[in-house]
Amino acid sequence: MAERAALEELVKLQGERVRGLKQQKASAELIEEEVAKLLKLKAQLGPDESKQKFVLKTPKDFDIAGNFDPMIPDAECLKIMCEILSSLQIGDFLVKVNDRRILDGMFAICGVPDSKFRTICSSVDKLDKMSWEEVKNEMVGEKGLAPEVADRIGDYVQQHGGVSLVEQLLQDPKLSQNKQALEGLRDLKLLFEYLALFGIDDKISFDLSLARGLDYYTGVIYEAVLLQTPAQAGEEPLGVGSVAAGGRYDGLVGMFDPKGRKVPCVGLSIGVERIFSIVEQRLEVLEEKVRTTETQVLVASAQKKLLEERLKLVSELWDAGIKAELLYKKNPKLLNQLQYCEEAGIPLVAIIGEQELKDGVIKLRSVTSREEVDVRRGDLVEEIKRRTGQPLCIC
């Protein structure tokens, strides 16, 4: 019990260290190293028998005989990643893929000592930010790798392409003789076949420099990056790194199972904060504000004692499928209502006044241009839909 308590305390302290590094926005490499330490401590801790047991479940079509094709869910994850990034409209992107088995096999045939695999892996992963010469100097000067071994690594990690590169490496006289690398290359070839069927192979590049520092990856790894485009006027090029990443980690969940059962896993994550940075910068350049609501029109009043009329009109708009709202004050000032629209990014204001009620019209105001027009109440829904791009009613 005392030993378990000591391990639990170490897990707690390491968890606090990881959270602290994230808050301090430490380097990704340092955070990944500390996360790996935390996972190892949790694995040593094992399950708490005093807590409710849970059952690990594998996919229904998975069996020991090997009928489960792991590349199908990998290809599906990449398809999902591409769909998400395309829908965000943040620019052209490229998804780089590799396989940890290919990396490990490559290091082995190049002569990297087993004890240096992970540290050399972290150096290779910097090739998207540093030149090959800088990476080589780090491996040789800081990590003690023999120069000739580094040169052999360089011959591989500077290559990138599509399925043709996979086929080329399958014929490589050295790499093809390594069991791990051969398994990884065969799976990647199959993956590219599925990606072509999904219609996204043009968005995917096989990149031998992609390493992904976390130790728990066991197979395919991937990372999405934005393609550099010329900066627009007033826009600084953003070095945000990857905007999405993921991979296969078949051994991770089993670390927490007392029986050590293998549970195949694959997943991805989206870099929400990095994407926000891109969107915010572009909005600043365009001098646009972020809309904080989907509201299309605010129902406003020009004079006092018109709350009931505002409620009637907002109800009519809701019934017509218009996203409308009103301020909850009984007698809000018109200026305050207009300012609210500007701050929230609401494009239109439907203004009711005593004269409008007499004339049977609604004053429709564009928040950006401040142009106002009188619209017959019966035509208001169609006019709002026309201005907001909604389908018009054909009666």
Known binding-site positions: 63, 212, 216-217
For residue 363, the cross-strand partners are 351, 374
Degrees, nearest 5: CA angle 228-120-36: 90
Question: Which two tokens mark 391?
Answer: 């389908």
d(CA 358, CA 375): 13
Compute CA distances 260 → 56, 96, 178, 232, whole Å. 10, 32, 27, 54
Q: What's the length of the chain? A: 395
In this structure, what token pair is assigned to residue 21?
């590094």
Helical residues (DSSP H) of the chain, grouped into ranges = 2-23, 28-45, 71-88, 100-110, 117-124, 132-137, 147-157, 163-170, 179-198, 272-285, 307-319, 334-344, 354-359, 380-388
Say which amino acid occupies 7. Answer: L
Q: Is 113 left (phi over 0), alpha (psi -120 to 50) or beta?
A: beta
Binding region for L-histidine:
63, 212, 216-217
Tell me the backbone φ, ψ of residue 357, rounded to 5 degrees.
-65, -40
Closest CA to 153 of 109, 118, 184, 185: 109
